[in-house]
Every structure is written in structure tokens, then in C-alpha cells.
Amino acid sequence: MKVQEAIVFGIKQLGNIDEKVIKVKLLLAFCMNVNKEYLVIHNNQELTELEQKNFENGIEQLKNNVPIQYITGTQEFFGMKFLVNKNVLIPRSDTEILVQEAINIAKEKDRILDLCTGSGIIGICISKKVKNSEVFASDIDEKALDVAKENAQNNNAKIKFIKSNLFEQIDENNFDVIVSNPPYIETETINTLDEQVKKEPIIALDGGNDGLYFYKKIAKEAKKFLKPEGFLLLEIGYNQKENVIKILKNENYIEIKCVKDLSSNDRVIICKKEK
């Protein structure tokens, strides 16, 4: 099977699956250990027996709604490459808005906590961009932390990882910035999600009956760990702005604002602890 034949075969096999062309090319490039551009130039190259076998196995996984990122084991985010597997949520480009806002706010030597870190992408990106910052990252899931630690090592980021259910095991305090992309999907909504999303860890998706469970907990507890006028940044769902702002106001946070993503959806809430 030649490169071009493999691409045609893969596209046909995937039927109505979204973004099937890009997924087929990413899979084939991964199986051949080349970049996508190589496929264009070498479209008549014969696949080795092993490459073809791995490619066909990958196509079967895609047909069963396994995300391409879990097959290749990688996802690009904020200009860096990260390891991902079934133990962590796949990073979305929308979360880059949260990261950029945190970088804009944080100053050199700030103490920063990435709560519910998952694959570690938020804390790692901040650590790389904010000079001499002291970054902590926590998660309740040991397997997710293993992924985050490997990502930190691969990207030469200095992060102090903590296994903790939200703030329960956080012994540090006086943070300048706390940032979090917590689970925020309503429990009942999870069953209606795209089949590929359902392959991601439920623990990273389920935000309780109203999707607001973690915002309530974080808003209440973060005040004990922030410096006076320290910043709290939260990623939110597209329809959660008013509810999350109400939660924050009830906990006496100040200077609350919302930042939209590139699709003009409400995406990040930024606020400050009182003096």
C-alpha cells in the first residue's frame, strides 16, 4: 500500500466521522514517524508491513471513536507538544485563552497554583513564560499526575506537583495567582456528548448536577490560599458566565470580568481577592 492509497483507504473507512481527512493524515504520519508535509512529497512511497499494520489498527480505533490524540499519544498546545493518554483530558485550544490571561497577569517570582492540573499543560505553560515563577500543580488523580510530571520533564518546566482533592492537601498559601480549568459539564449532559469526548476521563468532565460544583468549592476555599488582591482565574462553559460571577460575588471577590474565546464564547472569568 502506497501513501496516497493509504490516505484514500482511511478516508473511506471513516465514513461520516468529523475531520476524517486530517485524522487520517495525522495517523499515517505518526505510523511512519514523519510529519504531515512528508506525505505530500512522498505520496507514492510504499508503506512497510509494520507501518501498514499499525495504520490499519489505528483506523479501527478511529472508527470506534477513540480520539486521534490517544492513538498518537500527543497533542500540541501553546506551541509545545504534550503527552496525553486516556487518563487525562485532551487539551483544547480554548484553554490557551486561560493560559494567556494568567501569563498576562503573573509577574516574575509570583507563586502560582494550577488546580485540577490534569496533563499539566496550564502550569507548565505558565512556568515556561513567567520568569522565576514558583508554580505548583495539583490533581486528585495519581495517573493524571504521572502524565503531568512526564510533560513537565519533557518541556523542562519546574513544577511542584501535589496529589490533592482541590485544596485538601495544599499546605502552601499566599499564592499570587490561582488558575483552574475544573470539570464543568452537567452530569446529565455527559451522556449527550460526542462519542469521542465520552472516551475522556469522566472525572475531568463531570461538574455535578448543575455543572457548578467545583466553582462553588473553589470560590469558597481559594480565599484562604490567595494573597490579598491575589488573582483567581477560571475557565468556564459557554453558558456559565452569569452563574459563576454570582458565585464569586457571593464570596466577596472583586474586579470580576469575563474574557471571550476566539469563537466569541464566554471562556475565562478573572477576579481578585479582597484586600
Chain centroid to CA 186:
18
| Domains (range + CATH), the chain | 3-64 (1.10.8), 85-272 (3.40.50.150)
State how far the alpha carbon of 85 is from the alpha carbons of 14, 18, 64, 119, 235, in Å. Answer: 22, 20, 16, 9, 22
8 Å CB contact between 37 and 55: no
| Mean pLDDT score of the chain | 96
Give mean pLDDT, residues 34-47.
Answer: 95
Please state, in angstroms and rounded to a whole number, the distance separating the CA atoms of residues 67 and 77. Answer: 16
Condensed to tens digits (0 to 9), the pLDDT of residues 181-219 reads 999 999 999 999 999 999 999 999 999 999 999 999 999
Please state, in angstroms and rounded to a whole number, the distance separating the CA atoms of residues 166 and 184. Answer: 14
**In the chain, what percentage of residues exceed pLDDT 70?**
100
Condensed to tens digits (0 to 9), the pLDDT of residues 105-137 reads 999 999 999 999 999 999 999 999 999 999 999
Condensed to tens digits (0 to 9), the pLDDT of residues 15-39 reads 999 999 999 999 999 999 999 999 9
8 Å CB contact between 165 and 140: yes
Would you state the pLDDT for residue 275? 85
Instruction: Determine the residue type at 230.
Output: G
Please state, in angstroms and rounded to a whole number, the distance separating the CA atoms of residues 227 and 231. Answer: 8
What pTM does this model have?
Answer: 0.94
State how far the alpha carbon of 117 is from the alpha carbons of 89, 113, 207, 264, in Å. Answer: 10, 9, 15, 25
8 Å CB contact between 272 and 254: yes
**In the chain, what percentage of residues exceed pLDDT 90?**
99
Q: Which residue has the cell 505510523?
A: 31
Confidence of residue 158 (pLDDT cuts 50, 70, 90): very high
Burial 227-247 (b: 16+ CB within 10 A, else e): eeebbbbbbbbeebbebbbeb
